[in-house]
Amino acid sequence: MNLPAEDYRCYRHPDREAYISCQRCERLICPECMREAAVGFQCPSCITEGAKTIRQPKNLAGGAISGRAGSVSLVLIGINVAAYVLQIATGDRQSDIFQQGALQGYVVALDGDYWRLLTSAFLHASVLHLLFNMYALYLFGPFVERAIGSARFTAAYLTAAIVGSAFVYLLTDPATVTIGASGAVFGLFGMALMLLLKAKQDVTTLLVLLAINAFISVAGSNISWQGHLGGFVAGVVVGAAIAYAPRDRKQLVQGVTFAGLWIAAIVAIVLRSSTLTG
């Protein structure tokens, strides 16, 4: 490139001298505008345009892969731990947090406290109860979150919690008080199972874990098998929708699945309420 000395100027910064040209557009660029490329240097504009032509990797749900996979799982763990600390610090089961947040069928139906279907999923009966659920969330949460993305993971976790509570509301003695993140955690088990099956991975360990938990759920007198079952069913349904939906209809199938689960849960809750107040 043969130019008069005064024309050797950066096209982005005309007041600066430039003697290197962009490998793509061949315009002169100053050191500040030089971006290292496979061969030579490129200007910022060409780098931006080139990035648009690169196919971005997608997660299994069809969304962009997050660089912060696992962050939502850690936030959920933090919320559960904080709720338990506040519960203990303010009187444990006599605290307002417990009294206003625990799920009890008669209270929900007669007083209309439907928020309990969600808040009960963030309360726990003991340190061991909390540790077991949080350890399971720590083990399976980041895996599922990485596979489906943080937004869908949040929606799936809350959906499993609500569906689990709906099963409790439908199938449990309405005088029974139920708390715990187990429904949501079993939802993670269900999603992980579907994702592993789709990836053709060995699921023997997970199936053994599920069998053990199923036995404990049925055998334990103070364990809500109803919440476990509801959460697991929701997790399997959501996991199947994400893992096996046709590539060109992923968004539609996932949206319909989430909407269907919430509608079914709401209808079941309304019918149960009418029965308890009838």
In which band, very low, low, confident or very high, does the pLDDT at 5 lie, cut at 50, 70 and 90?
Answer: low
Residues 134 and 195 grouped into a single domain:
yes
Pairing state of beta strands 35-36 and 20-21? unpaired
Residues 216 and 149 grouped into a single domain:
yes
Residues 111 and 138 grouped into a single domain:
yes
Contact call for residues 154 and 160 (beta carbons, < 8 A): no
Among 42-51, 92-101, 215-224, 243-252, which stretch is predicted with the lowest mean pLDDT? 215-224
Residues 115 and 240 grouped into a single domain:
yes
Residues 24 and 162 grouped into a single domain:
no
Contact call for residues 165 and 157 (beta carbons, < 8 A): no
Q: CA nearest 151: which of 221, 92, 65?
A: 65
Residues 9 and 114 grouped into a single domain:
no
Q: What is the structure's pLDDT at 58?
A: 57
Distance, in Å, from the CA atom of 215 to the CA atom of 225, rounded to the nearest integer, reads 9
To the nearest whole number, what is the mean pLDDT of the chain? 89
Structural domain for 113, as ranges: 71-277
Q: Answer yes or no: is 57 within a domain.
A: no
Give me the residues paired with residue 17 across strands: 9
C-alpha pair distances (Å), 265 with each of 123, 147, 166, 234, 240: 21, 25, 6, 10, 18
User: What are the structure tokens assigned to 180, written together?
Assistant: 């715990």
Give the count of domains, the chain.
Answer: 2
Q: Answer yes or no: is 121 within a domain.
A: yes
Is residue 39 pLDDT above 80, yes or no?
A: no
Q: CA nearest 153: which of 168, 163, 140?
A: 140
Residues 174 and 230 grouped into a single domain:
yes
User: What are the structure tokens assigned to 268, written together?
Assistant: 């079941």
pLDDT in tens, 234-276: 999 999 999 999 988 999 999 999 999 999 999 999 999 999 9
Which carries the bigger pLDDT value, residue 36 or residue 277?
277
Q: What is the structure's pLDDT at 26?
A: 85
Distance, in Å, from the CA atom of 227 to the CA atom of 133, rounded to the nearest integer, reads 13
Active site members = 182, 228
Residues 13 and 144 grouped into a single domain:
no
Residues 98 and 45 grouped into a single domain:
no
DSSP state of 12: S
Q: CA nearest 121: which of 211, 206, 234, 208?
A: 234
User: What are the structure tokens assigned to 77, written together?
Assistant: 């763990």
Residues 175 and 256 grouped into a single domain:
yes
Q: Answer yes or no: is 58 within a domain.
A: no
Query: Mean pLDDT across the stretch 110-135?
Result: 95
Which carries the bigger pLDDT value, residue 130 or residue 215?
130
